């Protein structure tokens, strides 16, 4: 076999193989490419809606208490006629409390005249202030100091001199021994004479006070006052029992 014939036989199968490979390749190229798997888009994250604000309860209106208007102070009635019924005729010849004797005089004098002190009309036997708001006595009983109401202005009282002269006349009486209760309150005249006649030393007048100073007081009265505690508590101006 010559060489050319050999190569001819060899080229025939190679050519066929090459052609077959080309056909196969061509056929393979016509096949559809594999479809790509679609990528699922990420699910959107749900955004939480903002919580609705908590409803605030409106404050309950507190009713305002209407203050009760104060009871108006009744005005003082001045003038007119004061009628009193007494069980007997008044024994006093004048309107001087020291010139009175007995309850009938006291009954009509008390509503008309002011004294340094008075008996509490709502508590029998208790002494309360009238034009005096407080009072003190010295240890020996010779000095009595009365603190007066502000409204009772001694310095500007148009009747000041007359009232002071009345006190002097009252304290310097010579026709009879003085009753200490005379100028305090006529209700206590029956307590007994305690000052010797003309025993007043002087009367000191202040803006809102009166001080009575005496030269002599009966010794038995001082003993009695000490025994009932007069010098230690002002309420003992009212004797617990008759002093003499």
Cα separations in angstroms, 117 against 25, 146, 203, 230: 146, 9, 18, 16
Rounded-to-integer distance, Cα 201 and Cα 178, Å: 14
Q: What is the mean pLDDT of the segment spanning 57-67? A: 76
- What pLDDT is attached to residue 124? 75
The listed range with the strongest mean pLDDT (36-45, 148-157, 171-180) is 36-45
Choose among 96, 115, 210: nearest CA to 155: 210
Domain 97-236 has CATH 2.60.120: no
Q: What percent of the chain has pLDDT over 70?
A: 27
How many residues are given for the chain?
Answer: 244
Rounded-to-integer distance, Cα 232 and Cα 241, Å: 17
- Examine the pLDDT at 240 and tell me if it is beyond 50: no
Whether 163 contacts 150, CB under 8 Å: no
Instruction: Quote the mean pLDDT of the chain.
Output: 61
- Of 239 and 105, the structure prediction assigns the larger pLDDT to 105
Token pair recorded at residue 5:
């014939």
Residue with tokens 């305002």: 64
Q: What is the mean pLDDT of the segment spanning 230-236? A: 36
- Examine the pLDDT at 80 and tell me if it is beyond 50: yes
Q: Which contiguous run of DSSP H or E holds residue 5?
A: helix 3-30
DSSP string, 185-244: -GGGGGG---B-TT-EEEEEE-SSEEEEEES-B-HHHHHHHHHHTTTT-GGGGS-SS---
CA 220 to chain centre: 48
Residues in contact with 4: Cβ distance below 8 Å, sequence separation at least 6, in sequence order: none
Residue 218 has phi, psi (to 5 degrees) of -55, 135
Confidence of residue 181 (pLDDT cuts 50, 70, 90): very low
* Domain-wise residue ranges, the chain: 97-236
């Amino acid at each position: 076999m010559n060489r050319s014939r050999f190569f001819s036989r060899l080229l025939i199968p190679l050519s066929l193989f090459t052609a077959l490979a080309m056909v196969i390749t061509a056929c393979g190229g016509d096949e559809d490419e594999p479809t790509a798997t679609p990528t699922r888009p990420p699910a959107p994250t749900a955004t939480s809606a903002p919580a609705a604000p908590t409803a605030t309860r409106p404050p309950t209106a507190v009713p305002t208490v209407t203050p009760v208007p104060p009871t108006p102070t009744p005005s003082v009635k001045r003038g007119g006629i004061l009628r009193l019924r007494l069980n007997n005729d008044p024994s006093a010849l004048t309107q001087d409390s020291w010139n009175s004797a007995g309850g009938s005089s006291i009954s009509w004098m008390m509503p008309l005249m002011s004294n340094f002190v008075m008996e509490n009309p709502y508590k029998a036997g208790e002494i309360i202030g009238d034009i005096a708001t407080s009072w003190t006595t010295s240890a020996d009983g010779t000095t009595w100091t009365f603190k007066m109401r502000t409204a009772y202005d001694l310095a500007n009282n148009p009747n000041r001199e007359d009232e002071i002269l009345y006190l002097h006349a009252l304290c310097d009486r010579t026709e009879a021994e003085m009753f200490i209760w005379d100028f305090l309150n006529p209700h206590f005249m029956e307590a007994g004479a305690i000052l010797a006649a003309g025993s007043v030393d002087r009367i000191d007048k202040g803006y809102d006070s009166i001080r009575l100073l005496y030269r002599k007081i009966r010794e038995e009265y001082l003993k009695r006052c000490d025994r009932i505690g007069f010098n230690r508590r002002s309420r003992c101006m009212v004797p617990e029992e008759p002093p003499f």
